[in-house]
Structure 1
Amino acid sequence: MYSILLSVSFVFRGTCKTTFRGLNFLFLARPFDVGDRCEINGVQMTVEKMNILTTVFLRHDNLKIVYPNSVLSAMSIANYRRSPDMGDAIDFCIHESTSTEKVAKMEEMITSYVENKSEHWQSEPKMVVRDIVDLNRQRSLCVSHRMNFQDMGERWKRRALLVEEMMKIFKDLEIEYSMLPMEINVRNLPTLASNRFPSNWTVCAN
């Protein structure tokens, strides 16, 4: 009987500990609410349901992920909804031969566009030179949204409009540019040595 009682008390002690940690996380810590966009272990998810012992998340592809609250209480959780206005950076390259006058005009036009979109962006965007690689100046346009990234679709929509405007400015000023992280060139593909099919290929015709 003593052994049985000891085993039962050990099992229930673990259950009580898990339940207590889950309740503490749910009612005291409460780092998120239903509908919040969170980032856990590098994965962005939306809180779908909060239970006493578990929390249900939805990933971007609607995959349901269930975490025990006792586990979440020991993890680092980023909450986009509770964050203040957030910043963004757009990386690009311009050729080293670009004149100082064109660079100054480019910065003026981009700043003007950002400040005229005051409903989307905060004023005074910053343009910084990060590096020079292969005669290209790597730059970053640092801007601040007038929103956090709870609505990620709206963030990418605003960012895309800004990138399109930047590309238009580069073309108007005849500035040679490329948008980072990489430029793909499909014009210089090697020519095929032969137009014959490999022997293990089967050609079917209707």
Structure 2
Amino acid sequence: MNILTTVFLRYDNEKIYYPNSVLATKPISNFYRSPDMSDSLEFSIDFKTPLEKIGTLKLKIKQYLENNPQHWHSKHSVVVNEIENVNKIKMALYVDHRMNFQNYAEKSRRKTGLVLEMKRIFEELSIRYDRLPQEVRLVGDTRN
């Protein structure tokens, strides 16, 4: 934007110059072309986690998203992806940011907040995942 003219860039990259005196008398629309960005967070919980706790986890995630409407759409999905070795439930949270891809730093900041909130919820509900015990074989020194 200059003092006397404004430059518009057309879809084919042609620059069109309009005097500001003309634009002052015209309505101007702006199409917002970039959709809100989706994000996901994968996590695992212990197979022994009671279904009631999983339900409470889903409720607390929903409350967090609804309490931060400036950052997140309330529509989200918590899904069970698979059960691995009958000891781990692999899950994922799918959310939509209220922003587009152009501001990656802000997207990262918001996701960090979401991850830390998930950690807080896991701690509050005592939801965890412990790896299975691993067999360890010690080989002694046979030189004597």
TM-score range, shorter chain: 0.5 to 0.7
Aligned mate of 1:174, from 112, 116, 126: 126
Higher relative helix content: 1
Aligned-partner Cα distance in 1 for 2:97–2:129: 25
Please tell me whether residue 165 in structure 1 is matched to residue 117 in structure 2. Answer: yes
Q: Write the distance in 2 (CA, Å) between the matches of 1:168 and 1:91.
A: 16
Return the TM-score normalized by structure 2. 0.67
| Deviation readout 1:135-167 (Å, 9 max, x if unpaired) | 211111010010011010000000000000001
Match of 2:5 in 1: none
Q: For residues 97 and 130 of structure 1, do their structure 2 counterparts lie closer, same or farther at Cα, with a shift above 3 Å needed?
A: same
Partner of 2:83: 132
What is the root-mean-square deviation in Å for CA atoms of aligned residues? 2.8
Gaps of 5+ in 1: 1-25, 31-80, 184-190, 194-206
Query: 56, 74, 81: which is aligned to 1:123?
Result: 74
- Which structure has more relative contact order (CA 8 Å, sep 6+)? It is 2
Render the CA deviation track for 1:6-37: whole Å, top value 9, x for unaligned: xxxxxxxxxxxxxxxxxxxx97545xxxxxxx
| Structure 1 residue 83: Cα displacement | 1.9
Q: Out of 36, 42, 58, which is 1:85 matched to?
A: 36
C-alpha distance 111-177 of structure 1, shift in aligned 2 (>3 A): farther
How many residues are aligned here? 109
Q: 1:105 to 1:27 in 2, by over 3 A?
A: closer
Deviation of 1:125 after TM superposition, in Å, equals 1.4
Is the CA contact (8 Å cut-off) linking 1:170 and 1:177 kept in structure 2?
A: no
5+ long unaligned stretches in structure 2: 1-8, 14-31, 132-137
TM-score (norm 1): 0.47
Identity of aligned residues (%): 39
